[in-house]
A and B are shown apart, each in its own frame.
Chain A
Amino acid sequence: MRNTIRFAAASLFAGAMLAATAGAQTISIKGSDTLGAKLVPQLAESFKSKNGGVKFEIAAEGSSTAFPALANGTAQIGMSSRKAKSDEITAARAKGIKLNEVEACHDMIVVVVNKSNPVKQLTKDQVAKIFTGAVKDWSEVGGAPGPISIYTRNTSSGTYKDWQTLAMKGKNYAGSSQKLAGNEQIAEEVSKNKNGIGYVGLAYSKKGGIQPVKIDGVEPVAANAKKYAYSRACYFYVPENADATTKSFVDFAISKDGQKIAENLGFVPNH
């Protein structure tokens, strides 16, 4: 009996050694849900098919989770839909890890209104006034009369903060705004409320019942990313002394092929 166990353990150990020496490597990627839900898994699949033997562990639990994981060494790559804060960089540095920032791709935040809303375009100023509560009725921006209902993401979301800086010059949201958990929920409520307005990621703006709004005459489509007022970048954070496989994965992600995958998923490529 004992011998059997010993034999099993020994063979397991030997197997593990073999696997390790054969170059099997696990890259652990943690952070943003925006990137980690679809894009990074697809990049990983594609990378795996070219470089056999690499394994991926992907955990998408929000941008803020990337930095502690990088600092502890439990992740080789961090995903973030915002720039790292200085205290996050410092915390990693204090543990001897210097982080490099890589632009993963761009994302656009699209203003959506109900499909039956005659308002097809707004100016930046009007958007700011609507979301800060200075404009309260659709008739003030050229729509059918009716009180504007504002739907936003909840305070912890990266998009909530990004929107505040991009669209509202850092001003506070209108008190009448309703905070919802995700892009899908915003699209759902706007599609149910003919006076609703909200913002969602580009990939969510094609849902039934809602329509994207032109901003300053610019249509929110990927081709207009440079002109569009509410574009933002998403990032990978990689330790400076990362190993070759990790580096080559990041290089692949920002290469033409990687960006093509991003584009197909509704993101805006870097080039």
Chain B
Amino acid sequence: MSESSSSTQVPLGHPFRRKGRGTDGLIKSFFAGNAGLTIVILILIIVFLVREGAGFFPAYRTELELYRKAGLEFVDIPRKDLEAHEQMSSLLNRAYYAQVNDACRREFQRSQEASALMTYVGEGVAPAQSALQRVAEGAGENGIPPELQKSLTDKYKQLLEEALAGKRGEGLPPTPHLTNEEREGLLAALRSRDPLSTDDPPLVTTLQEELSTRQAAAAEPLSAFREVIDAFAETSSTLDAVVSESGDLVKATKEAATLHEIETTKRATLLAAAAKTKDAAAKAQLELEAEEAVTTEPVDFKTSLAPVLARLPEIRQANAAMQASAAEIESKLPAKLEDGKADRYLSTFRKALPEYNRELGDTIAQAEAWKSDKPVGLWATITGFITGRDWITGGEWQDFYGIVPLFAGSAIIALIALALAIPLGVGAAVYTNQLAGRRQQNFIKPTIEFLQAIPSVVLGFLGIAVLGTVLQETSMKDAFSWVPGFPIQQRLNMFTAGCLLGLMAIPTIFSLSEDALNNVPSAFAEASDALGASKLQTVFRVVCPAAISGILAAVLLGLGRVIGETMVVLLVAGNRIEIPDFTEGLGVFFQPAHTLTGIIAQELGEVPFGSVHYRALFVVGMVLFIIVLGINWTAQRLLHKFRIGHD
């Protein structure tokens, strides 16, 4: 600090000399300033996050209070029954149609093959065809200029011939279920079709008719089953009517309450504007408008709720009718359906029946116990956020913020990524550090670390365009039909996202594991060698266990990177806001999902500043922050706790 302690003397006349300070002191304070500024910035960021997020819970609580006071919560109780009923009807319908379509499999295939052929040719000629159409539409009275007409028609013919020749190496789409004559006839019809016509060739129409006749025939023996389904579907109509009518009522109440609030705010805004205005006439005008701004009375929730609550007996009746129908449907259903898939749907229905009955059973008790003036606790709001299974935003009814679906998505994707990155990253590190020669080391290390240089958005594009498509197409092959979740329905899914994130985590895990292995004192390996252990014994029995804490920390830091990554999941994970369906077993990995980071990136851009939704996203950010902080902290602890050979 003092000049006497520094060995370098600033020469006389040097600018640093002017204020009597030494170079050391200046450099020191410069770096101290940098460190201090960094910490201050970090603290400011955290304070900002907390401040924006903290407002969420009270605001959400106010919203939930209105949801309760206006009676929306009450209507949601029987509405749950309707949803359950819809699911059950859908199951029966799917069973029915699976059974019907089973009988028409051949007709379906024939019809689809013919359409596929037609589509293939249609796509081939599309450019010329649409150009012709545009010209014909814009031609007006004079008609199309003949040379243009000719050149376009020639182009069309050329494209048509190319399309009919088929893809190189593959030919036209296969039609194993059509006879040769039919195929030739269809191709001839396509060849001779007028360029402007969009009508289907006769064969396609015939096949469609065949299919619908066959479907009708297949449905005949199932008419009793159909009646049961229709009757079951019909049972909810009374409740449906009651719920939708009271739904309109409570929605109107909520809207009136919101409108009144808006008007009150409007008056305040106008008055504030009037106070600022200097022009007397404008000021008077604004004040007058402010006076007229509030046109509605504050809503009296008790009165508006009365007609809704008065319908409780009707709800009770409808609910009883539904229960009665659910009780006897079991005996009316066919014992077994021939088609395997149809039978699976039916047995799913049977299995779901008790759950459905329970849902119906507790409705009335819940509705009776419901009270509009029960306060919404802050703690209940917080736990509701953490354990909520719905993230519904932009709904007209009520927004719900529950973090479970987002968390589930993030966790599963991280799991997939780690399953890929740990073996590859750690394995590569062990090999490079312990087994590889110097030249291999010099090649492997920079190459793997180079992966980190690929921007995540580029990786995301790669994921959509290449990995997702390849995976989807591979999964269509019959040879892979045994893999759970195949064929993959959605090109954008958690598996693709997980693979890409795994790729991104490999360099982190590799570098840090390699460091950890490097840090094992060479005395350990030498001692092991001296005792006569082989190289592999030394690596797996001595060096790796000694470095295990460092490797674990590396894995955790890799996990932190995976959880926090945004761009790739936003582009590739599919953004489906639903908890993944775990009943599909391992197939769950091939479903789309949303993530903690993805939802922030997707929704923060355009939510109104300061709204509840906006604040909810900040709370999600805080949750993310805490998770990553926890992971990093654990990693640090691991590193320190098991550190060997250094202290």
- On whether the two chains bind one another, the answer is yes
A128 to chain B, nearest CB (A): 12
Is B130 a contact partner of A176 (Cβ separation < 8 A)?
Answer: no
Q: Which residues of A contact B491 (CB under 8 A)?
A: 189, 192-193
Report the tally of A-B residue pairs with Cβ distances under 8 A.
Answer: 121
Is B265 a contact partner of A154 (Cβ separation < 8 A)?
Answer: no
Of the listed residues B100, B108, B576, B592, the one surrounded by the most CB atoms of chain A closer than 10 A to its CB is B576
A159-179 vs B, CB cutoff 8 Å, 1 = contact: the mask equals: 011001100001110011111
Is B592 a contact partner of A178 (Cβ separation < 8 A)?
Answer: yes
Closest to A157 in B: B606
B93-128 vs A, CB cutoff 8 Å, 1 = contact: the mask equals: 110011011000000100110011001000100100
Is A155 a contact partner of B394 (Cβ separation < 8 A)?
Answer: yes
Is B269 a contact partner of A154 (Cβ separation < 8 A)?
Answer: no
B296 beta carbon closer than 8 Å to chain A: no
Residues of A187-233 at the interface with B, using a CB-CB cut-off of 8 Å, are 189, 192-193, 195, 206, 208-209
A23 to chain B, nearest CB (A): 29
Q: Which residues of B contact A93 (CB under 8 A)?
A: 270, 289
B577 beta carbon closer than 8 Å to chain A: yes
Is A179 a contact partner of B605 (Cβ separation < 8 A)?
Answer: no
CA distance A80 to B496 in the complex (A): 37
A133-150 vs B, CB cutoff 8 Å, 1 = contact: the mask equals: 011110110001101010
Is B606 a contact partner of A156 (Cβ separation < 8 A)?
Answer: yes
Q: Which of B270, B472, B575 contacts A192 (CB 8 A)?
A: B472
B300 beta carbon closer than 8 Å to chain A: no
Q: Which residues of A contact B395 (CB under 8 A)?
A: 164, 172
Closest to A64 in B: B606
CA distance A129 to B135 in the complex (A): 39
B266 beta carbon closer than 8 Å to chain A: yes
B603 beta carbon closer than 8 Å to chain A: yes
Is B269 a contact partner of A208 (Cβ separation < 8 A)?
Answer: no
Closest to A95 in B: B273
A118 beta carbon closer than 8 Å to chain B: yes
Closest to A172 in B: B395
Q: Which residues of B contact A193 (CB under 8 A)?
A: 489-491
Size class of the contact patch on chain B: 35 or more
Q: Which residues of B contact A165 (CB under 8 A)?
A: 396
Given contacts A172-B397, A176-B578, A178-B576, contact A94 B269 (CB under 8 A): yes
Q: Which residues of B contact A243 (CB under 8 A)?
A: none
Closest to A176 in B: B578
A157 to chain B, nearest CB (A): 8
B167 to chain A, nearest CB (A): 15
Is B269 a contact partner of A90 (Cβ separation < 8 A)?
Answer: yes
Q: Which residues of B contact A208 (CB under 8 A)?
A: 123, 126
Summarize A's interface: helix, strand, loop or mixed. Answer: loop
Is A136 a contact partner of B90 (Cβ separation < 8 A)?
Answer: yes
CA distance A140 to B607 in the complex (A): 37
Q: Which residues of A contact B269 (CB under 8 A)?
A: 90-91, 94
A203 to chain B, nearest CB (A): 13
CA distance A147 to B592 in the complex (A): 14
Is A170 a contact partner of B90 (Cβ separation < 8 A)?
Answer: no
Residues of B436-463 at the interface with A, using a CB-CB cut-off of 8 Å, are none
A81 to chain B, nearest CB (A): 13
B84 to chain A, nearest CB (A): 11
A79-97 vs B, CB cutoff 8 Å, 1 = contact: the mask equals: 0000000110011011110
A116 beta carbon closer than 8 Å to chain B: yes
Is B396 a contact partner of A164 (Cβ separation < 8 A)?
Answer: yes
Q: Which of B98, B126, B262, B490 contacts A139 (CB 8 A)?
A: B98
B341 beta carbon closer than 8 Å to chain A: yes
Is B86 a contact partner of A134 (Cβ separation < 8 A)?
Answer: yes
A18 beta carbon closer than 8 Å to chain B: no
Given contacts A136-B90, A164-B396, contact A94 B607 (CB under 8 A): no
Closest to A194 in B: B489
Is A144 a contact partner of B108 (Cβ separation < 8 A)?
Answer: yes
CA distance A175 to B404 in the complex (A): 13
B357 beta carbon closer than 8 Å to chain A: no
CA distance A86 to B90 in the complex (A): 40
Residues of B459-491 at the interface with A, using a CB-CB cut-off of 8 Å, are 469, 472, 489-491
A91-117 vs B, CB cutoff 8 Å, 1 = contact: the mask equals: 101111000000000000000000110
Given contacts A96-B282, A116-B116, contact A206 B130 (CB under 8 A): yes
B602 beta carbon closer than 8 Å to chain A: yes
Given contacts A95-B273, A155-B603, contact A87 B492 (CB under 8 A): no
Given contacts A118-B112, A156-B603, A172-B392, contact A145 B577 (CB under 8 A): no
A180 beta carbon closer than 8 Å to chain B: yes
B6 beta carbon closer than 8 Å to chain A: no
B393 beta carbon closer than 8 Å to chain A: yes
B574 beta carbon closer than 8 Å to chain A: yes
CA distance A236 to B86 in the complex (A): 42
Q: Which residues of A contact B111 (CB under 8 A)?
A: 118
B594-618 vs A, CB cutoff 8 Å, 1 = contact: the mask equals: 0000000011011110000000000
- By a beta-carbon cutoff of 8 Å, the part of chain A in contact with chain B is 62, 64, 86-87, 90-91, 93-96, 115-116, 118, 134-137, 139-140, 144-145, 147, 149, 154-156, 160-161, 164-165, 170-172, 175-180, 189, 192-193, 195, 206, 208-209
- By a beta-carbon cutoff of 8 Å, the part of chain B in contact with chain A is 86, 89-90, 93-94, 97-98, 100-101, 108, 111-112, 115-116, 119, 123, 126, 130, 208, 262, 265-266, 269-270, 272-273, 282, 286, 289, 341, 390, 392-397, 469, 472, 489-492, 574-578, 592, 602-603, 605-608
15 A-B pairs in the complex with CB atoms less than 8 angstroms apart: A64-B606, A87-B262, A91-B269, A94-B272, A135-B90, A136-B94, A137-B90, A137-B93, A137-B97, A144-B101, A165-B396, A175-B577, A178-B490, A180-B575, A193-B491
